[in-house]
Chain A
Amino acid sequence: MQDLLYFVQQLINGLTIGSAYALIAIGYTMVYGIIGMINFAHGEVYMIGAYTALIAITGLAAFGIAWLPLVLLVALVCAVIVSSAMGWAVERVAYRPVRGRHRLIPLISAIGMSIFLQNYVHLAQGSRNMGFPLLIEGGFRFGAADSFQTSISYMQITIFITTLVCMTALSLFISRSRTGRACRAVSQDLGMSNLLGIDTNKIIAATFVIGAALAAVAGLLLGMYYGSIDPLFGFIAGLKAFTAAVLGGIGSIPGAMLGGIILGISESMTSGYLSGEYKDVVSFGLLILILLFKPTGLLGKPEVEKI
């Protein structure tokens, strides 16, 4: 019984982290689907989202505003706005001018951008980690009081539900709205969409903005969940989210969700049964294995080499 409870606990932790990874992974997967590049700076956009949320929360506290829904809403809105602006600016400055050049060039530009943003926050806010207040406290507990108890915190439930809401909204947006249709058209054939009068520049910018907004949501959620953030906060999370995107099949939105959850669970199982130190090794190992044996991921479409 105890073992089972322990297992369920790891499962819950994995689902929580995994669904947050999925939110970040959307940014990688949509951008890759449309312009075929890895947006290396996406992890940094997520980190900036977390910082903005923390700044907003601290600012509200300074004015003595403590009504939880308001605080969360303001933090969320601020994070989403600033991250979206960042995503837009990054695309404009570092990616649009190099679009269509040799594959290496946008990739190096993206790495440069990632390093730049990391150090931008580092210089502005210092390198020390900042405590993130846990605004949503409490939770449910299962199991006898004298032995191991499985717990689900309200925070975890919040993360899970927020992710589901965001994912559903995104899917509806992609499948129903005009912009969503244009997005799909551009990811099928950029040149042709351009000829058909779709403003591809706008669509690509929109992709970056949507990805950045979802990353900002994840930044607020994971910031609260982990309880502290620092400028390197985005780097590893970005890699994890990228792994999730690849795992599920890059370019596929349900794939990102699936990949995120698989990755989250395998990580929490590693931490729970092996050692927390090796959880990164496991996720990188998973990434390498997937790329070697099924590079299109679980839900991705195979690519035919064109000659």
Chain B
Amino acid sequence: MATQNIKHALFCAFITLLISFPILGLNLESAGTTLELTGADSATIVAILVAAIVVFLFQTFRDSILTAAGKMPKLNRWSDRQPMPQEKRLKLENLFMTLIMISALIWPFIVSRGSVDLSTLVLIYVMLALGLNVVVGLAGLLDLGYVAFYAVGAYTFALLSQYLGVSFWIALPAGALLAALFGLALGFPVLRLRGDYLAIVTLGFGEIIRILLNNWTSLTGGPNGIGGIPDPTLFGMEFGRRIKEEGNISFHDFFGIPYDSTHKIIFLYLIALVLAFISFLAIRRLMSMPVGRSWEALREDEIAARSLGLSRTGVKLSAFTIGAFFAGFAGTVFASKQGFISPESFVFLESAIVLAIVVLGGMGSQVGVILAAIAVTILPELAREFSEYRMLIFGAAMVLMMVWRPQGLMPMRRVHINLQKQE
């Protein structure tokens, strides 16, 4: 037993060296037209060796380590605590949400301009994640081309404003509805595919839309994108220093305050906040409606759901369309925030980030997804060194979550329903 363990451990350590040394330890450098090979610094080499030794030791004493880990006092003191009663939990949750809302409302007036701008981005990701949560978390459909609907929302606004001079407030519902329509049109043929095929096909759709945006230069400007996207207005008041459109007045003139470019940023933040909040409430309501329950039913057991009269296509399509709708919302806000969009903002990586948010937060759990969106967007900004490793860590986190905690950091809690005995 022991010798077998050591053999296996040696093998694992050797594999560790094989997969880390050539890639990490030997670096290719371009020198003019040719390449040169340089060894990595000694710290890296030491790290590789340490990693191999750690793997070796772990595999050798695997059994005793795992038993010891099982006996250790629980790191999470709350893990085997009784769940609190439903009413108390709901009250607490509502209190928590109210507190978050209040602080989110005060937030832009006490922090710097850059922080407000970043917060708007966080809210955009919250909207995206809430929407994808419907598709992946509730309906169990792995959509890897989610960013396509985000792009549809953003480009709808950009194109409508460029060619027809349409304002933000009209583009907002238009972008969301058009994204939903795309969801409907793309979803209809593909939704009868099995889960993993669906994932690949949606990924393909996402790429096709990006490539089209990139190459249809006459309409979308190709890789150069579209600029000059207008800011939202408040009851016809503009936030720029000068009025762009006849008949409008500017915000600072109306209130007789000096011009400040922060006003616009704060205004956009508040719009995003309200929209994110509306998305949250709407989806929460949908979850307890028949349509929301049928999403989950189909995820849990498709055959049983069909045997009870749920149409597979209908139910999946509704999830897909509603998810796309919220992505369209987010896209419009994004276009307005940036003032400029190009296909580069809508690559597969964005879909992967939003998926990572949903997975980390806990599939199906709205509060979890919101917290994860905040964490995933803000952490790289807080620690600059971290941002380089961001995607590496996301990838690793996705794997680790699936292995150890597939329900996410804050798993979805089921709502209890009080029933009266019927005679």
Contact between A115 and B201, CB atoms less than 8 A apart: no
Q: Which residues of B contact A292 (CB under 8 A)?
A: 189-190, 193
Within the complex, what minimum Cβ distance (angstroms) separates B18 from chain A?
4
A109 at the interface (CB under 8 A from B): yes
**A281-B208 in contact given A62-B36, A118-B391, A131-B33 (Cβ < 8 Å):** yes
User: Can you name the residue of chain B whose Cβ is closest to the Cβ of A286?
Assistant: B204
Contact of B197 among A86, A281, A291 (CB under 8 A): A291
* CB within 8 Å of B: which A120-150 residues: 120-121, 123-126, 128, 130-131, 133
Contact between B201 and A287, CB atoms less than 8 A apart: yes
Stretch at the interface among A65-73, A88-96, A195-203: A88-96
A302 to B1, CA, bound (A): 45
Within the complex, what minimum Cβ distance (angstroms) separates A69 from chain B?
21
Q: Which residues of B contact A275 (CB under 8 A)?
A: 215
A242 at the interface (CB under 8 A from B): yes
Taken residue by residue from 196 to 217, chain B's Cβ proximity to chain A (1 for < 8 Å, 0 otherwise) reads as: 1101110111011001101100
Q: Which of B37, B356, B402 has the most CB of A within 10 A?
A: B402
Within the complex, what minimum Cβ distance (angstroms) separates B219 from chain A?
15
User: Can you name the residue of chain B whose Cβ is closest to the Cβ of A116?
Assistant: B395
Q: Which residues of B contact A287 (CB under 8 A)?
A: 200-201, 204
Stretch at the interface among A50-58, A170-178, A185-193: A50-58
A285 at the interface (CB under 8 A from B): yes
Stretch at the interface among A18-26, A97-105, A156-164, A259-267: A97-105
Contact between B392 and A116, CB atoms less than 8 A apart: yes
A287 to B36, CA, bound (A): 40
Within the complex, what minimum Cβ distance (angstroms) separates B369 from chain A?
15
Contact between B402 and A108, CB atoms less than 8 A apart: yes
Q: Which residues of A contact B389 (CB under 8 A)?
A: 119, 123
Contact between B355 and A119, CB atoms less than 8 A apart: no
A107 at the interface (CB under 8 A from B): yes
Interface residue count for B (Cβ, 8 Å)?
A: 60
Taken residue by residue from 132 to 173, chain B's Cβ proximity to chain A (1 for < 8 Å, 0 otherwise) reads as: 000010001010100000000000000000000000000000
Interface residue count for A (Cβ, 8 Å)?
A: 67
Contact between B355 and A38, CB atoms less than 8 A apart: no
A144 to B188, CA, bound (A): 52
Within the complex, what minimum Cβ distance (angstroms) separates A52 from chain B?
5
Q: Which residues of A contact B348 (CB under 8 A)?
A: 235
* CB within 8 Å of A: which B387-402 residues: 388-389, 391-392, 394-399, 401-402
B23 at the interface (CB under 8 A from A): yes
**A89-B207 in contact given A105-B406, A106-B402, A112-B396 (Cβ < 8 Å):** no
Within the complex, what minimum Cβ distance (angstroms) separates A267 from chain B?
13
A280 to B394, CA, bound (A): 27
Stretch at the interface among A6-14, A77-85, A218-226: A77-85
Within the complex, what minimum Cβ distance (angstroms) separates A95 from chain B?
9
Q: Which residues of A contact B208 (CB under 8 A)?
A: 280-281, 284-285
Contact between A107 and B18, CB atoms less than 8 A apart: no
B27 at the interface (CB under 8 A from A): yes
**A114-B37 in contact given A101-B406, A124-B27, A128-B30 (Cβ < 8 Å):** no
Q: Which residues of B contact A38 (CB under 8 A)?
A: 196, 199-200
**A58-B402 in contact given A81-B18, A85-B18, A281-B208 (Cβ < 8 Å):** no
Contact of A89 among B19, B194, B201, B406 (CB under 8 A): B19
What secondary structure prevails in chain B residues at the interface with A? Answer: helix
User: Can you name the residue of chain B whose Cβ is closest to the Cβ of A283?
Assistant: B204
Contact between B207 and A277, CB atoms less than 8 A apart: no
Contact between B391 and A119, CB atoms less than 8 A apart: yes
Contact of B201 among A55, A93, A101, A291 (CB under 8 A): A291
A59 at the interface (CB under 8 A from B): yes
B303 at the interface (CB under 8 A from A): yes
Within the complex, what minimum Cβ distance (angstroms) separates B361 from chain A?
13
B26 at the interface (CB under 8 A from A): yes
Contact between A55 and B28, CB atoms less than 8 A apart: yes
A235 to B200, CA, bound (A): 12
Contact between A58 and B35, CB atoms less than 8 A apart: yes
Taken residue by residue from 12 to 35, chain B's Cβ proximity to chain A (1 for < 8 Å, 0 otherwise) reads as: 000110110011101110100111
**A288-B214 in contact given A54-B28, A98-B403 (Cβ < 8 Å):** no
Contact between B28 and A108, CB atoms less than 8 A apart: no
B314 at the interface (CB under 8 A from A): no
Contact between B19 and A94, CB atoms less than 8 A apart: no
7 contacts between A and B (CB under 8 A): A58-B37, A82-B19, A106-B402, A111-B144, A112-B399, A118-B395, A133-B35
A-B contacts besides A117-B395, A121-B23, A291-B201, 17 pairs, CB < 8 Å? A38-B196, A52-B23, A54-B35, A55-B26, A59-B37, A82-B19, A86-B18, A106-B402, A109-B398, A112-B399, A113-B395, A115-B392, A118-B391, A119-B395, A120-B392, A239-B204, A277-B215
Measured CB to CB, the residues of B under 8 A from A are: 15-16, 18-19, 22-24, 26-28, 30, 33-37, 136, 140, 142, 144, 189-190, 193-197, 199-201, 203-205, 207-208, 211-212, 214-215, 303, 348, 352, 355-356, 359, 363, 388-389, 391-392, 394-399, 401-403, 406
Measured CB to CB, the residues of A under 8 A from B are: 37-38, 48, 51-52, 54-55, 58-59, 61-62, 78, 81-82, 85-86, 88-89, 93-94, 97-98, 101-109, 111-121, 123-126, 128, 130-131, 133, 235, 239, 242, 246, 275, 277-278, 280-281, 284-285, 287-288, 291-292, 295, 307
Across the A-B interface, give the 10 residue pairs with the lowest CB-CB distance, nearest first: A112-B398, A116-B395, A115-B395, A284-B204, A109-B402, A85-B18, A119-B392, A112-B399, A97-B403, A119-B391
